[in-house]
Structure 1
Amino acid sequence: MPASPATLPAQDPSGEHWVESLTDGTHVLIRPLRAEDRQREADFIARLSPEARHFRFLCSMREVSPALLDQLMAVDFHDSVAYVALVHQDGELIEVGISRYSVGQDKQQCECAVTVADDWRERGLAVALMRHLIDCARRNGLQQMFSVDSAANTAMHDLARFLGFSSHQDPEDATQLIHTLKLQAAS
């Protein structure tokens, strides 16, 4: 899926954005998450099905707590990155997907996640969001990206395989899979 990036450099993502054409011909705006997206993020999580919320957070929850929302909104675009997918619906800009990563203590790897609204799945949105996230992690010099997901989340397993991640069962929890992607070529 070709994208047309904005002209600002990667180290200043404030104006970075892409308009992506999905497999069904619809278009979405993908850009860095901003402070102004706080309520959109809360509304997005509230609209997810219970299964989608469980797959994203690996627990059951009815609504996002203010503390969790604070954590989700805390992005610096180096150690913590998030890209949001937005569309106009009934005259309002709404969130339909998000990808994010957080750098580990070793500063060499990051844990990632992607979530797409239930009614926006199977259109290529998760692939588009993850490709921008992977590109950013590479630009930031990270060596590896990984995701810990429910073994029942077949959509994530398929996405990880499509994007070139390797997968194995979590040695500490047989109900989870760990998907890993090497980001940099060996020196």
Structure 2
Amino acid sequence: MEQLTDVPRWSEVLRDRTHVVIRPLVPTDRDAERAFIEQLSAETCRYRFLGFVRHPSERLLDSLTRLDPEREVAFCAVVAEDAHDKIIGVSRFSADKDHQRCECAVVVDDEWQNKGLGTLLMRRLIEVARARGIRVMRSIDLAENIRMADLAGDLGFSRHPDPDDASQVIHELKLD
């Protein structure tokens, strides 16, 4: 892990040999986060938000970029584009009030899928959750989201139906 003023930054190489940087998502990434969401395919958006979000509201952007550092972590994978960071993937979690469980999510730009980026983003997220003493990480996903099922399975998550919604599944990873 490389440190830049105590903010973690990781330089990673994808399966296609592309170099990316994984770093914390910060409030100044608001416009980049909006652009990232707006260019996702309808299917990727639906899988990430469990519904269609073409243009994120100001409230949604606030919740995605202004994090509670005690409970929330978000990492973005970026590549340089026109002297700016272009977000190509995001992983995040939000812990419960007891910091024992957290809900996580990951989304990767359609052009960057199938290169190992989702796995890298989730591994960094899992490392931080473990370091914070979180015991269980879970993700609620559409049952038809095969890519997430594969990713979760590769990372050791168990999978079971969502008792509240038959169209969804819950992936769960014990961290202790």
Task: Output the TM-score relative to the length of structure 1.
Answer: 0.90
| Aligned: 1:171 with 2:171 | no
Is the Cα–Cα contact under 8 Å of residues 116 and 125 in structure 1 kept in the other structure? yes
Is the Cα–Cα contact under 8 Å of residues 74 and 80 in structure 1 kept in the other structure? no
Is the Cα–Cα contact under 8 Å of residues 56 and 115 in structure 1 kept in the other structure? yes
Alignment match, 1:71: 63
Alignment match, 1:62: 54
Is the Cα–Cα contact under 8 Å of residues 12 and 21 in structure 2 kept in the other structure? yes
2:134 maps to a residue whose letter is: L
Alignment match, 1:6: 2
Alignment match, 1:161: 153
1:112 maps to a residue whose letter is: C
1:155 maps to a residue whose letter is: R
Provide, for residues 27-64 of structure 1, a one-character-per-residue CA deviation record: whole Å limited to 9, x for no partner. Answer: 10001111211111010000100111111110112210
Alignment match, 1:17: 9
Superposed, 1:91-130 pairs within 5 Å as: 91-130=83-122
Deviation at 1:14, TM superposition (A): 4.9
Cα distance in 2 between the residues matched to 1:83 and 1:150: 22
- Distance change (3 Å), C-alpha of 1:175 and 1:169: same
Deviation at 1:89, TM superposition (A): 2.8
Cα distance in 2 between the residues matched to 1:103 and 1:162: 23
| Aligned: 1:144 with 2:136 | yes
Alignment match, 1:180: 172
Provide, for residues 144-183 of structure 1, a one-character-per-residue CA deviation record: whole Å limited to 9, x for no partner. Answer: 0000000111000000000000000101111001000001
Deviation at 1:90, TM superposition (A): 4.5
Please list every run of 5 or more consecutive structure 2 residues that lacks an aligned counterpart in the other structure: none
Alignment match, 1:132: 124
Provide, for residues 59-94 of structure 1, a one-character-per-residue CA deviation record: whole Å limited to 9, x for no partner. Answer: 112210000110111223431000010002344420
Cα RMSD (Å) = 1.4
What is the aligned counterpart of 1:39 among 26, 31, 43?
A: 31
SS state at 1:28 partner: strand
More deviation, 99-108/40-49: 99-108
Cα distance in 1 between the residues matched to 2:53 and 2:30: 18
Task: Output the TM-score relative to the length of structure 2.
Answer: 0.95
Is the Cα–Cα contact under 8 Å of residues 9 and 21 in structure 2 kept in the other structure? yes
2:121 maps to a residue whose letter is: L
Identity of aligned residues (%): 47
Please list every run of 5 or more consecutive structure 1 residues that lacks an aligned counterpart in the other structure: none
